[in-house]
Chains A and B, each alone.
Chain A
Amino acid sequence: MTLVAVLGAGALLVGCTGSDDEAGAGTELTFFIFNEPSGAYQEAATKCSQESNGQYHITFEFLPASADAQREQLVRRLGAEDDTIDIVGMDIIWTAEFANAGFVEPWSDADAQAVTENVFDSVVESATYEDTLYAAPFTSNTQLLWYRKDRVQQPPRTWDEMIAEAERIGPAEGLIQVQANRYEGFTVLATAMIESAGAQILAGPTEVALEQAPTERALEVLGQFARSPVAPPDIDTSTEDTARLSFEAGGSSFMLNYPFVYPSASENAPDVFEQMGSALYPRIDADKPSRPPLGGIHLGVSAYSNNKDLTFEAIKCLVQPDNQITAATLGGLPPVREDLYGTKELDKAYPGFSDLIKRSIDNAAPRPLTPAYTDVSLAIQRSLHPPGDIDPQDVGSVYDDLYDAVDKAVQREGLF
Chain B
Amino acid sequence: MEAGAAAGKLTKRTHSERRLGWLLCAPAVVAMLLVTAYPIGYAIVLSVQEVDLRFPEEGGWVGLSNYESVLTSGLWWQDLFNTLFITVISVALELALGMVIALIMYRAIFGRGIVRTAVLIPYGIVTVVAAFSWFYAFNPDTGFVNQLPLIADDKAWFGERFSSFAVIIMAEVWKTTPFMALLLLAGLTTIDDGLYEAAKVDGASAWQRFWRITLPLMKPAILVALLFRTLDAFRIFDTIFIMTRGAQDTESVSILGFNQLISRLNLGLGSAVSVLIFLCVLIIAYLFVRGLGVRMAEGRPGT
Interface set of A (CB-CB < 8 Å, partner B): 68, 72, 75-76, 79, 97, 100-102, 181-183, 233-237, 242, 245-246, 371-372, 374-375, 378, 385-386, 412-416
Contact = CB atoms under 8 A, between A and B. Distances in A.
Given A236-B159, A237-B159, A246-B141, A72 B263 contact: yes
A374 B154 CA distance: 32
Contacts of A97: 54
Nearest to A102: B56
B243 to A, nearest CB: 9
Contact of A181 (B55, B141, B160, B247): B247
B265 interface: yes
Contacts of A233: 140, 154-156, 159
A378 B263 CA distance: 9
Contacts of B156: 233-234, 236-237
Interface string B238-253: 0000001111100000
Contacts of B52: 412
A95 to B, nearest CB: 12
Contact of B265 (A79, A234, A235, A413): A79
Given A183-B245, A372-B54, A415 B159 contact: no
B43 interface: no
Contacts of A374: 263-265
11 contacts: A101-B56, A181-B247, A237-B158, A246-B141, A374-B263, A374-B264, A414-B73, A414-B75, A415-B73, A415-B260, A415-B269
Interface string B145-161: 00000000011101110
Contacts of A79: 53, 265
Interface residues of B, number: 33
Contact of B55 (A72, A76, A371): A371
A415 B75 contact: yes
Contacts of B256: 415
Given A102-B56, A233-B154, A76 B262 contact: yes
Contacts of A101: 53-56, 265
Given A234-B154, A412-B266, A415-B70, A182 B76 contact: no
Contacts of B214: none
B130 to A, nearest CB: 19
B69 interface: yes
Interface in B105-142: 140-141
Nearest to B142: A245
A100 B155 CA distance: 44
Contacts of B56: 100-102
Interface in B251-292: 256, 259-260, 262-266, 269, 273
Q: Is the interface of B mostly helix, strand, loop or mixed?
A: loop
A243 to B, nearest CB: 10
A386 B273 CA distance: 25
B70 A234 contact: no
Given A233-B154, A246-B141, A75 B53 contact: yes
B159 A371 contact: no
Interface string B23-66: 00000000000000000000000000000111110000000000
Interface centre among A79, A234, A242, A386 (most CB of B within 10 A): A234
Across chains A and B, which 10 residue pairs bring their CB atoms closest together, nearest first?
A182-B247, A236-B159, A234-B156, A233-B154, A415-B73, A101-B54, A415-B75, A237-B158, A371-B54, A79-B53
B54 A235 contact: no
Given A233-B159, A235-B159, A182 B245 contact: yes
Contacts of A386: 159, 247-248
A372 B155 CA distance: 36
Nearest to A234: B156
Nearest to B74: A415
B69 A375 contact: no
A79 B154 CA distance: 43
A62 to B, nearest CB: 18
Contacts of A375: 264
Given A415-B69, A415-B76, 20 more contacts: A68-B263, A72-B263, A101-B53, A102-B56, A181-B247, A182-B247, A183-B247, A233-B155, A233-B156, A234-B159, A245-B141, A371-B55, A374-B265, A375-B264, A385-B247, A386-B159, A386-B247, A415-B70, A415-B269, A416-B263
